Structure 1
Amino acid sequence: MNNKLGLQIKKYRLLKQMSLSRLAAKASISKSYLSGIESHKTNPSAHMIQKISKALEVPVEQLLDIQVEILDPEWVELVAQAREIGLDKEEIRAFLAYEAWKRSIKEGV
């Protein structure tokens, strides 16, 4: 069982100055169940982790202590614009492959 999850939940609960009772009520789970998770006696399902995450207003990735790379906003905007004009993923991939090929020809690779 992953002990880190219980520690993370407790850490964020205390940072938000929430009691076990308050977080349990906000997540619509029992206080004893939440206590079991925090004390590593209970292994929650993905659904329960989502409920607790939502109640704590913390992304699931933070509770699971997963490092997530943030996408460059300019790339996100560029892809959004491509999709708006009707390009799908395969067309975007094909375009990128074509541009990489052109660059390799130009550089003599």
Structure 2
Amino acid sequence: MSGKIGKQIKRLRLTQGLSLTKLANRAGISKGYLSSIESHKANPSAHMIQKIAKVLEVPVEQLLNTQMEILDPEWVDLFKQAKKLGIDKEDIRTFLTYETWKSLKEEV
């Protein structure tokens, strides 16, 4: 299991542009221990997985389940920006409905 977790942690860390040192410092663990987890040499405890997941801003389940579909980070950032601007899910649904309608109308 640690191999899958290590692979997920490394992938997420790199996607977020974090160095081993930054992630380790933010999670309150040693750089060496984090490196051991990522290289499949250490088996992290549930507590360590929680600490790392919190820093990476992902649910623990995402680290445990490598089959989970991962969203493109650009989409995640875009939705975070929309949320900060006060755009809610219903606004996005309305926009998508309108764009779908417009697209269908243009085909006719």
Return the TM-score normalized by structure 1. 0.59
Residue 3 (structure 1) shift = 1.1
State the Cα deviation string for residues 54-92 of structure 1 (Å, max 9, x = none): 011111010111678xxxxxxxxxxxxxxxxxxxxxxxx
Distance in structure 1 (CA, Å) of the matches to 2:63 and 2:35 = 16
Distance in structure 2 (CA, Å) of the matches to 1:31 and 1:10 = 13
Letter in 1 for 2:5: L
Residue 2 (structure 1) shift = 3.3
Letter in 1 for 2:37: I
- 1:51 paired with 2:51, answer yes
Percentage of pairs with the same residue: 66
**Structure 1 runs (4+) greater than 4 angstroms displaced:** none
Secondary structure of 2:29's counterpart equals coil
1:23 is matched with 23
Contact 1:36 1:42 (C-alpha < 8 Å) held by counterparts: yes
- 1:3 paired with 2:34, answer no
Q: RMSD of the alignment, in Å?
A: 1.6
Query: How many residues in Structure 1 have an aligned counterpart in Structure 2?
Result: 68
Structure 1 alignment gaps of length 5 or more: 69-109
Distance in structure 2 (CA, Å) of the matches to 1:20 and 1:33 = 10
Letter in 1 for 2:24: A
Greater relative contact order structure (CA < 8 Å, 6+ sep): 2
Distance in structure 2 (CA, Å) of the matches to 1:42 and 1:2 = 7
Structure 2 alignment gaps of length 5 or more: 69-108
Contact 2:6 2:37 (C-alpha < 8 Å) held by counterparts: yes
Distance in structure 2 (CA, Å) of the matches to 1:64 and 1:26 = 20
Return the TM-score normalized by structure 2. 0.59
Secondary structure of 1:9's counterpart equals helix
